Chain A
């Protein structure tokens, strides 16, 4: 069956519902737009995805299929891996809005027992988007509700059948991941709002006792720094005096005619003297002329 209409915000699409239940774009058979069906609440499968067809086939869970008359305002659907809430319904289309989005997107309803959205589930925490919801035609919606106790259409399977349990688990895991991502996005938005509120919040003033202790600590720190600086200065002055005297001694010793040093003393101090000479040379005091 070939369908034409707006899908997911695109004003015009040509789609085909195949016998195996897969929905494909008419102009691109390898691009799977949707798989129609549900395993049962609260399962959500990432149905509308551009998956390769073989993968989608393997992942396809058998189960009940949503019929057009099952689409109700307020229902939550998983479309393209994201949670959407149906905001309005008419005979041929329904509008749904993704969590956090402002604008609705229009989805096409088929008439042979399929819709473009997949299974639905209940949200624990619903976003408040009711104010922006504009029903298309509520009277038609009312008229489309199936009668109580109506039997499902013949095209709807009555029970879940999976040929590959592992693949079904994969679909479940993907659905859970999708829900987790939605939750993360929602929580991130809340955190961002809280952060802005915190930025606008003035920090409470410290108590008088805290202020006093901080002031005392600061005064002590200043006093300690000042006294340390004074002590360092005194030590530096003493070192300067000693250095001036040592420099004078070295100059005198280098400038006067010298007898050869006594070998005995030089022998005792030779090791130390060599180290000292290296230090003196490094300090720029010149050679001792030994």
Chain B
């Protein structure tokens, strides 16, 4: 086999590998898009749940004349100190 033929084979092998990588990358992109869609749905559900919790917290604090900012700030400070 001549050097030219060897080089030709090497080039063909490299081209096949490139095509395989490109195909894999395309598949990964598709999977990423699907993953993004699922994450977006999850975020939406979490936001809805979190809004509900925040409303409940606000209602509870208001009913008990509690200043949440002050309390949470104290709690954060305590946590920081404890750690």
How close is A43's CB to chain B, nearest CB, in angstroms?
Answer: 59
Query: Hey, which chain A residues are within 8 Å of B40, CB to CB?
Result: 228, 232, 235
Q: Assess the A276–B47 pair: CB atoms within 8 A.
A: no
Residue among A228, A242, A252 with most chain B CB within 10 A: A252
Task: Give A283's nearest chain B residue, CB to CB.
Answer: B49
Q: Assess the A249–B36 pair: CB atoms within 8 A.
A: no
Q: Which of B35, B55, B61, B75 contacts A251 (CB 8 A)?
A: B75
Q: Assess the B32–A279 pair: CB atoms within 8 A.
A: no
Q: Which of A222, A225, A261, A283 contacts B60 (CB 8 A)?
A: A261
CA distance A111 to B52 in the complex (A): 103
Does chain A have a CB within 8 A of B20? no
How many interface residues does B have (CB within 8 Å)?
Answer: 32
Query: Hey, which chain B residues are within 8 Å of A228, CB to CB?
Result: 33, 36, 40
Does chain A have a CB within 8 A of B59? yes
How many interface residues does A have (CB within 8 Å)?
Answer: 40
Query: Hey, which chain A residues are within 8 Å of B14, CB to CB?
Result: none
Q: With A218-B29, A232-B36 as known contacts, state yes or no: A249 contacts B63, CB within 8 Å.
A: no
How close is B52's CB to chain A, nearest CB, in angstroms?
Answer: 5
Task: Give A228's nearest chain B residue, CB to CB.
Answer: B36
Q: With A228-B40, A276-B52 as known contacts, state yes or no: A248 contacts B59, CB within 8 Å.
A: no
Q: Assess the B39–A276 pair: CB atoms within 8 A.
A: no
Query: Hey, which chain B residues are within 8 Å of A160, CB to CB?
Result: none
CA distance A243 to B74 in the complex (A): 17
Does chain B have a CB within 8 A of A253? yes
Task: Give B46's nearest chain A residue, CB to CB.
Answer: A239
Q: Which of A142-150, A162-170, A266-274 contacts B (4 or more CB under 8 A)?
A: A266-274
A-B contacts counted at CB < 8 A amount to: 98
Secondary structure at the B interface, as helix, strand, loop or mixed, is helix
CA distance A250 to B46 in the complex (A): 17
Query: Hey, which chain B residues are within 8 Å of A235, CB to CB?
Result: 40, 43, 47
Does chain B have a CB within 8 A of A123? no
Of residues 239 to 259 in A, which have CB atoms within 8 Å of B's CB atoms?
Answer: 239, 242-243, 245-246, 248-253, 256, 258-259
Q: Assess the B53–A269 pair: CB atoms within 8 A.
A: no
Query: Hey, which chain A residues are within 8 Å of B46, CB to CB?
Result: 239, 243
How close is A128's CB to chain B, nearest CB, in angstroms?
Answer: 40
How close is A275's CB to chain B, nearest CB, in angstroms?
Answer: 8
Does chain A have a CB within 8 A of B19? no
Of residues 31 to 76 in B, which have CB atoms within 8 Å of A's CB atoms?
Answer: 32-33, 35-36, 39-40, 43, 46-47, 49-50, 52-57, 59-64, 66, 68, 71-72, 74-76
Interface contacts beyond A229-B36, A279-B53, A283-B49: sample of 14 additional A-B pairs, CB < 8 Å, sorted by A: A225-B36, A228-B33, A229-B32, A229-B35, A235-B47, A242-B54, A246-B54, A253-B60, A253-B64, A253-B66, A262-B64, A265-B62, A265-B63, A272-B55
Chain A residues with a Cβ under 8 A of chain B:
218, 221-222, 224-226, 228-229, 232, 235-236, 239, 242-243, 245-246, 248-253, 256, 258-259, 261-262, 265-266, 269, 272-273, 275-277, 279-280, 283, 285, 288
Chain B residues with a Cβ under 8 A of chain A:
26, 29, 32-33, 35-36, 39-40, 43, 46-47, 49-50, 52-57, 59-64, 66, 68, 71-72, 74-76
